Structure 1
Amino acid sequence: MPEVSVIIPVYNVEAYIERCARSLFEQTLQNMEFIFVDDCSTDRSITLLKKVIEDYPQRKKQIHIWSLERNSGPSVARNMGLSMASGEYIIFCDSDDWVEREMYDKLYTCASRYHADICYCDFYMVCQDGIMRMESVAYVNDKVELLKRYLAEGLTVMWNMLVKRDVYLQHKLKYPDDIVYCEDFWLSVRLMYFSNKIIKVCEPLYYYNRLNQSSLLMKPMKRTFTDELHAVLDTIKFFSERGDIDLYNKELSWRILKVKQDMVLHPDEYQDFLTIYPNSHAYILSCPKFFCNKKIKIMMWMLVHKMGWIISVINYIRNLYHKVGIIPV
């Protein structure tokens, strides 16, 4: 059995795949498997990947390349990888990112030492301004408190989280096929909920590449709103069905407020705002500023307290400003 399975969905990343693959094949951890899932790339991604593989003959038997029959999105690609993985632990890597040479060695060693179901780490964010060190959710040895902190974080991802395969198998967990944005949030919350022991390596080991202009995250669209709303509402249902909603209601409410905040800018969406998880309205003023800014929170509070007409006037004036090219303070 491999100690770690790395699942890498691939779609049109010819500019990045070589750096990603080399960082994986040069890992100090030897007993691994690498599962690349081609989501019907139309560029030279797989050709370049195969060329890189030739430089690592010692890894050849550990590398598997699978192809989807049609372009289906990252969730379906990752689920195919999950179905093929045989490692003791599983982790994902995006094919436009890269990792430190000792990443999986350090995560696996830590997870094994503490008999953890999950071991996660900090990361670097690569953007136009350079490379910034980012801290993942601060660790605390209390799973409820740790999960509350995780829900209250802005970024919830899977690529810095090494997870024991048994957790996936025992609870029949996989990515939701119908969500292409916020899918990591949907899955990671459930993995943390079902895990008995979670530990952290307080060191940045993953490079999250924000320079890829073709990435889904770089393309704001209506689908991102509907997917994020679906993911959070489905997670609220998940906790409600298990009788634990009261433990996490505040943090989940902040998440819902983040998703539906733009509704207060459109009068025809006021009623949708008021009817989508109204329990969240009690937490408007406490919502963190990186989810909702102060102006939006005041407008949400006014709408909930039947002052929608004032918001409509504010939005009318705001639109007039924009028409003449003036940005109100």
Structure 2
Amino acid sequence: MSMNDYKVTIAVPVYGVESYVEKCAISLFEQTYSNLEILFINDCTPDKSVEIINKTLEKYPHRKAQVKIYNQPVNKGCPTARNLAVQIATGDFILFVDGDDYIEIDSISSLVTEQIASNADLVVAHCLIETNDSTYLLKYCDMNKTKEDIIKDCLDDKASQSVCGILIKKSIYINNNIKANESFHVGEDWQVAPLLLYHAKKIAYVDKVIYHYQLSRSNSITITSQESVTKKKNQLICFVKTMNCLLRSFKDKGQTYLDIIYRKKAILVQDAMIYCCKDRDEESFKILVLELKSIDQKYLSALGNTNPLVLRMKKNYYMLSVILYFNKLKKLI
């Protein structure tokens, strides 16, 4: 097939990104690749993001017929927006971009060129992380490894878990019913990325930066208030639920994958338990205790006492005991 025979859908969830979405939109409208569908999923954004998109589009009349803005009736979160994009996309391939990020203007051309050459189901490339005062390169994964090892790295935080900036054959989503759990407010990429890798018959790689991930917004995890403690606790609990989703998804895909997921779950459960103590959330703490007990001891004992994960778990147990002790004292006062 020739370059522009493939239609590529670029999907952008939009919520609270008015300070960044113009740069994002420009990077999409100026793509050197012509056969595009550009979907903006307005998740009931409270700001002027959609107004900015429409105003920017006026400068690119040749793109108007390719741009569609879908307005959600209520705010449903990024997982729902991405699931909707997959459902309504008319492209052969789909590429996700967050509304506060942007891509190089030749990104789609570079990815499609590699796809045609390799007949790959997924084409990945590099990402540049941009903060207020620095930038650094993030390689999606080590392409010298086997597909099985790349999946293991993705599950084990040793490779990128983002679905953004990847050229994905839409049929992988459809044929394997891959969807993010819409009840989760974080961790949607962690649910989806390993499954995309698993079901891809071939993964190709472009050795260049195509995606710019902006971290200029406040993303600090430093706990400075009770509100932020509660937020961090809820995020960790959501990640535990994500691990349960992955355990169900990978239950028949190999014990090696399950071992990694169980180990990750053990760490996340204990982290969440610590924040439940800080937040004095006894009910969630009790549920997490049951989650921890459900993890077979063999997954923990097999790690060995010198494994960094084991050392972290021991540290967490110490922190839990201290927090629980002081919480009991507070109740007595």
Q: How many residues align?
A: 307
2:192 and 2:306 map into 1 onto residues whose CA distance is 23
- 1:96-128 deviation per Cα after TM superposition (whole angstroms, max 9, x unaligned): 001111111111111221111111111011113
- Residue 161 of structure 1 is matched in structure 2 by 166
Residue equivalent to 1:210: 215
Corresponding residue number in structure 1 for 2:130: 126
The amino acid that maps onto 2:12 is I
User: Percent identity between the aligned chains?
Assistant: 24
1:315: which partner in 2? 322
Q: TM-score, normalised by structure 2?
A: 0.82
Q: Among 195, 202, 207, which residue is 2:200 paired with?
A: 195
Query: 1:9: Cα distance to partner?
Result: 0.5
2:233 to 213, 222, 227: 222
Q: Partner letter of residue 94 of structure 2?
A: I
Distance 2:314 2:43 in 1: 44
Equivalent in 95, 100, 103 of residue 91 of structure 1: 95
Deviations 1:14-69 (A, max 9, x none): 10010000011111111111000101111111111001001111111111111000
Q: 1:211 to 1:115 in 2, by over 3 A?
A: same
Change (3 A) 1:274 1:255: closer
CA contact (8 A) 2:125 2:207 kept: yes
Aligned 8 A contact 1:254 1:283 in 2: no
Correspondence list, 1:246-261, <5 A: 246-261=255-270
1:290-305 to 2 correspondence within 5 Å? Answer: 292=309, 294=311, 296-299=312-315
Q: Which residue of 2 aligns with 1:307?
A: none
Asked if the contact 1:236/1:245 (under 8 Å) is kept, the reply is no
Deviations 1:227-253 (A, max 9, x none): 21111111112211x2x3412133223
Cα 1:40–1:297 change in 2 (3 A) is same
Distance verdict in 2 for CA 1:293–1:239, change over 3 Å: closer
Q: Which amino acid aligns with 2:257?
A: Y
Q: Which residue of 2 aligns with 1:174?
A: 179
Contact kept in structure 1, 2:180 and 2:192, CA below 8 Å? yes
Classify the secondary structure of the residue corresponding to 1:105: helix
CA RMSD of aligned residues (A): 3.1
Does residue 238 of the first structure (1) align with residue 249 of the second (2)? yes
* Structure 2 residue aligned with 1:116: 120
Is this contact kept in 2: 1:40–1:70, CA < 8 A?
A: yes
- Give the 3-state SS of the residue equivalent to 1:184 in structure 2: helix
Tell me how far 1:313 sits from its aligned partner: 9.4
Asked whether the equivalents of residues 266 and 295 of structure 2 are also in contact (C-alpha less than 8 Å), the reply is no
Structure 2 letter corresponding to 1:246 = Q
SS of aligned partner of 1:221? helix
Matched residues in 1 for 2:290 and 2:71: separation?
41
| Cα distance change, pair 28–215 in 1 and its aligned pair in 2 (3 A) | farther
Give the conservation status (yes or no) of the 8 Å contact 1:284–1:297. no
Q: Is the 8 A contact 2:269 2:292 kept in 1?
A: no
Write the distance in 2 (CA, Å) between the matches of 1:90 and 1:164: 6
Contact 1:140 1:146 in 2 (8 A): no
Between 4-13 and 222-231, report the one with greater CA deviation: 222-231
**Would the aligned equivalents of 2:15 and 2:45 in 1 still touch at CA under 8 Å?**
yes
Contact preservation (8 Å) 1:91, 1:161: yes
Distance 1:312 1:119, change over 3 A: closer
Q: 1:185 to 1:56 in 2, by over 3 A?
A: same
Does the aligned pair in 2 maintain the 1:167–1:194 contact within 8 Å?
yes
Gaps of 5+ in 1: 304-310, 324-329
Worse-superposed segment, 63-72 or 154-163: 154-163
Task: Report how far residue 298 of structure 1 moved.
Answer: 3.2
Q: Which runs of 5+ in 2 are unaligned?
A: none
- Residue 37 of structure 2 corresponds to residue 42 of structure 1: no
| Cα gap change, 1:198 to 1:272, in 2 (>3 Å) | same
Counterpart of 2:293 (choices 275, 287, 292) is: 275
TM-score by length of 1: 0.83
The answer to whether residue 271 in structure 2 is matched with residue 262 in structure 1 is yes
Summarize the Cα distance change of 1:225–1:33 in structure 2 as closer, same or farther, 3 Å threshold.
same
Superposition deviation, residue 11 in structure 1 = 0.7
Deviation at 1:206, TM superposition (A): 0.8
